[in-house]
Structure 1
Amino acid sequence: MTRTATRLADLTAHELLAAYRAGTLSPVEVVEDVLARIEADEPRLHATYALDPDGARIAAVDSAARWRAGEARPLDGVPVTLKDNIATRGVPTPVGTAATELVPAERDAPAAARVREAGAVILGKTTMPDLGMLGSSQSSFHPVTRNPWDLTRTPGGSSSGAAAAAAAGYGPLHLGTDIGGSVRQPAGWNGIAGLKPTFGRVPVVPPYAGRVVGPMCRAVADVALLMSVIAVPDERDHTALPGADIGWPDAPGPVRGRRIGLLPDVGVGLATERVVRRAVEEAARALEGAGAVVEPVAPFLTREMLDGMDRFWRARAWSDLGALPEERRAKVLPAILEWAAAGADLTGAEVFHGYSQMDAMAVAAHRALAGLDFLLLPTAPIPPFPVEYASAFDDPARPFEHIATSLPFNMSGQPAISVNCGYTAGGLPIGLQIVGRRFDDAGVLALALAYEELRPPQRPWPAV
């Protein structure tokens, strides 16, 4: 089903801010409409965690007062959700697993602090799978989140709830995290825009190689707006980049003369399905028609790189899970426990070799953009798989086969965004991934804004 009427819950952040500024809408009525949408859809979607209607209503009243007083902040009155693992003060951070001891967070994580300071109305948190280590919404703590476009399909992971919430119209702004594709892949499978920023652009607590916080929104312009608020250094993240006057774009950038590489199949992991390949190639032709210079790029990822990362992450996961008391470890999702347990038998040499593939992947990804401004490839090689599956094969031994398109750019630190570029015969969205040179987040967003105007008309958003 699709929605036939636009409600306040469906307005973009830019539209809301313009209406607040003009005095034609109040944050109070907007938040009420968004909460009504959530109340109606959550029994089927299960995208939220620690929803806080009372807190949101209080924040909306405070925001309305600031607008009346002429003291509005950059995101004043705009509804936002944050992924489970982005700490918000007073709320436990289970990281998707029942094995976590539920202790309220003492303070906001950097991104949460920035949106709160900017006046955004925090509605609550969104769901994720155990430890963020799945491309699905299977969790031992949260109910299974479903894809609004087809409730029998996964929304992807690990920013499962954020993607589903954005597509369903739980307000315009959502924050996820990404260490192997966890913002982009669910964004692609839900027809929204999801940015993995340059590593270090948005402070993360705790920081870790490849891990980023990124916006997930229906519109690319809202992604850019949210980045303008959260891309601020924070002393808690020693890997954070220095502050910079980036000039986040709110209009399409130039296309003519841009050198763009096209990689419809990465050559490792799952092969790109025909419907996905066709949509990505049509997007490339649209950009070429607007004056871009599009040329093929040879696959650069190897089986050794992908398997090495798998081994290293198994060892890393088992170092945490193996240290838990047995009664808590037993609460972890079986698929994750089975996958991680293999890390206990790896030798030091095998783990080190796996770790070294992070750098090998980074070098290869940077070389792939040599002489290019951007790279186009599928966000995911396949459409979303059944919601009951923990991974594309529902096989704990092969959980990374569908992230070969996204993982390299976490290791390289390059910015990458997913935007919708088409639909399957069954109406499921297909994601186009646009990758840029490191630090060129604004360029990636500007090209994504341009592509939004070039792509065919989009289908109405789904009704749950």
Structure 2
Amino acid sequence: MRDAWEIARLTAAELGTAYADGSLSPTEVVAAVLAVTDDAEPGLNALWDRADASATADAVQSTERWRRGQARGPLDGVPATVKENLARAGVPMPAGNAGVVPVVPERSSPVVERLTEAGAVIVGSTVMPDWGMLSSGVSSLHGVTRSPWDPALTTGGSSSGAGAAAAAGYAPLNVGTDIGGSIRLPGTWLGLAAFKPSFGRVPLDTPYLGRVAGPMTRTVEDAALMMSVLSRPDSRDWTALPPSDLPWDAIGPAATDVGGLRVGLMLDAGCGMPVDPEVAEAVADAAQAFAEAGAVVEPLAPFLTDELLGDLDTFWRVRSWKDFQALTPDGQTRVLPFIRRWVEAAADVSGRDVLACYQSIMDIQQRSVAATLPFDVVLSPVAPVPAFPAEWPMPFGDRDRGMVHIGFTAPANLSGQPSISVNAGFTDDGRTIGLEVTGRRFDDIGVLRAAAWWESARPESARPDWPIRQRATARVRPTDVGTREAATAG
């Protein structure tokens, strides 16, 4: 009998093969991942709602479908988690915020319906920070979510629980959401294959400017496999792209030929925090590997400014200030103090200024598309710094520096371009470093192919070892990390 951790290490693609040949059943697999969750969850704090009973029952039904040769597809019986802001009927949605009265949805979101229709087994909903507006796992409702690599370190956010669940082996398939980097930031700080698809590619029941849902997995192949299901149509999303029969199944472990691929290399976002030298080196080394494989790699000059990034931050503050004002006085006191201060800074922003901020967003869209158009894909850091202490709400600690860390991620949200984080290496002290691969608008397949090539071509030293048991003691002291990141932040 296989060890639970051995089973939890398997990818969704491997599970589908094992189910088909009878070497494993969904019942065995779900029991294994629930055991792994039992072992790790008290320390990681990744789940808002556990669905052990329904997951176990769904696994039994899936096992019977596979036995009869009537599986619903390759995801049938594969464990999955969804972020808490993706509705599951009957499960409260507090958005990580202790001050809100949670909505209890009557109907599941398109993401959840597509997964369950495909036979995937939902094992739970994952946590997020207050309103999803932090790049960490710090929440007024949930407390601190910690990295499976090292409990002293952040998971990143806002898809903090999804990232931790993916890295720790709770499920091979996890869904996060991303409005300015919230899928890819946990991706870089946890070593994941974390894919932000084109805007509108995955239908949502609550679409918003730049917001997407997408896979957070341990392999690019699994991300593509998940997209084959998540991208199926749903009439509730009035912003969705037309249904497309894209070759998701063509993304696999076999190396894609990148010869002749036009690749832009951007190591400076032109705004925000400076890039840590170890991060820049890992991304440059990945670009060199592309060049050695025949890609044409050229530098891409920065196209954003601090002013544009600041206007985006102000726009989001005003949005959240409106939500904050709708809370009861008692509810307002329960919001995370960092978020309270962040939204209160927008209390006196005028309507004229909000419109100016919106125009800046349009400017970011135009600049992003124009700058990246000459290239098939653009390589860059995901974040300027490696993982920071778990208790910090942002990469710069408890100070209010706006959104100075999302200069590499936010442009693709606003322009709608597909973008993925894939691990590119490790810092000297063992922290993961993500490579961001961004493509032209709507070219999700091109991004996944390039990322899959890198995943197969990268050196052994850049490959994460999955899943990672939570360490009993931290390998990196938070004070050491804090000192380094504070110095980097300037």
Q: What TM-score does the superposition give when structure 1 sets the normalisation length?
A: 0.97
Given that 1:200 and 1:212 are in contact with CA atoms closer than 8 Å, whether structure 2 keeps it comes out as yes
Cα distance per residue 1:269-304 (max 9 Å; x no partner): 011100000000000011111110000010001112
Amino acid at match of 1:18: T
Amino acid at match of 2:430: G
Q: Secondary structure at the match of 2:346?
A: helix
- Residue in 1 aligned with 2:115? 115
- Residue in 2 aligned with 1:247? 247
Given that 1:20 and 1:67 are in contact with CA atoms closer than 8 Å, whether structure 2 keeps it comes out as yes
Amino acid at match of 1:190: L
Given that 2:191 and 2:464 are in contact with CA atoms closer than 8 Å, whether structure 1 keeps it comes out as no
- Residue in 2 aligned with 1:161? 161
- Residue in 1 aligned with 2:469? 463
Amino acid at match of 2:188: G
Which of 299, 312, 317 is matched with 1:314 structurally?
A: 317
Cα distance per residue 1:206-229 (max 9 Å; x no partner): 110000001000000000000000
Amino acid at match of 2:240: A
Q: Within 5 Å, which residues of 2 pair with 1:351-430? A: 351-430=354-433
How far apart are the structure 2 equivalents of 1:304 and 1:250? 39
Amino acid at match of 2:223: V
Q: Does 1:283 align with 2:286?
A: yes
Given that 1:27 and 1:60 are in contact with CA atoms closer than 8 Å, whether structure 2 keeps it comes out as yes
How far apart are the structure 1 equivalents of 2:459 and 2:358? 42
Cα distance per residue 1:71-107 (max 9 Å; x no partner): 1012110000000101111101111101221343211
Structure 1: segments with no counterpart, 5+ residues? none
- Residue in 2 aligned with 1:76? 76
- Residue in 2 aligned with 1:216? 216
Q: Within 5 Å, which residues of 2 pair with 1:39-438? A: 39-74=38-73, 75-248=75-248, 249-251=250-252, 252-438=255-441
Cα distance per residue 1:55-82 (max 9 Å; x no partner): 1100000100111111101211000000
Given that 2:423 and 2:433 are in contact with CA atoms closer than 8 Å, whether structure 1 keeps it comes out as yes
Q: Secondary structure at the match of 2:407?
A: coil
Amino acid at match of 1:158: S
- Residue in 1 aligned with 2:33? 34
- Residue in 1 aligned with 2:479? none
How far apart are the structure 2 equivalents of 1:410 and 1:338? 25
Amino acid at match of 1:364: R
Given that 1:184 and 1:379 are in contact with CA atoms closer than 8 Å, whether structure 2 keeps it comes out as yes
Structure 1 residues 329, 5: closer, same or farther in 2, change over 3 A?
closer
How far apart are the structure 2 equivalents of 1:10 and 1:218? 9
Amino acid at match of 2:192: I
How far apart are the structure 2 equivalents of 1:12 and 1:46? 22
- Residue in 1 aligned with 2:448? 445
Amino acid at match of 1:439: F
Q: State the shift of 1:171 in Å.
A: 1.8
Given that 1:253 and 1:443 are in contact with CA atoms closer than 8 Å, whether structure 2 keeps it comes out as no
Given that 1:173 and 1:216 are in contact with CA atoms closer than 8 Å, whether structure 2 keeps it comes out as yes
Structure 1 residues 108, 266: closer, same or farther in 2, change over 3 A?
same
Cα distance per residue 1:397-440 (max 9 Å; x no partner): 21311111101110010000000000011111100000000110
How far apart are the structure 1 equivalents of 2:123 and 2:346? 38
Cα distance per residue 1:123-182 (max 9 Å; x no partner): 011110000000011101113100111111110000001111111111200000000000
How far apart are the structure 1 equivalents of 2:57 and 2:326? 41
Amino acid at match of 2:358: Y
Q: State the shift of 1:5 in Å.
A: 9.6
Q: How many residues align?
A: 461
Identical columns (%)? 50
Amino acid at match of 1:49: W
Structure 1 residues 36, 5: closer, same or farther in 2, change over 3 A?
closer
Given that 1:134 and 1:399 are in contact with CA atoms closer than 8 Å, whether structure 2 keeps it comes out as no
Given that 2:176 and 2:182 are in contact with CA atoms closer than 8 Å, whether structure 1 keeps it comes out as yes
Runs of 4+ in 1 over 6 A off after TM superposition: none
Given that 2:30 and 2:55 are in contact with CA atoms closer than 8 Å, whether structure 1 keeps it comes out as yes
How far apart are the structure 1 equivalents of 2:22 and 2:457? 33
Given that 2:5 and 2:32 are in contact with CA atoms closer than 8 Å, whether structure 1 keeps it comes out as no
Amino acid at match of 2:384: P
Q: Secondary structure at the match of 1:330?
A: helix
Amino acid at match of 1:460: D
Structure 1 residues 234, 250: closer, same or farther in 2, change over 3 A?
same
Amino acid at match of 2:110: P
How far apart are the structure 2 equivalents of 1:144 and 1:244? 39
Structure 2: segments with no counterpart, 5+ residues? 471-490
Q: Secondary structure at the match of 1:343?
A: coil
Amino acid at match of 1:264: L
Q: Secondary structure at the match of 1:433?
A: strand
- Residue in 1 aligned with 2:486? none
Q: Secondary structure at the match of 2:76?
A: coil
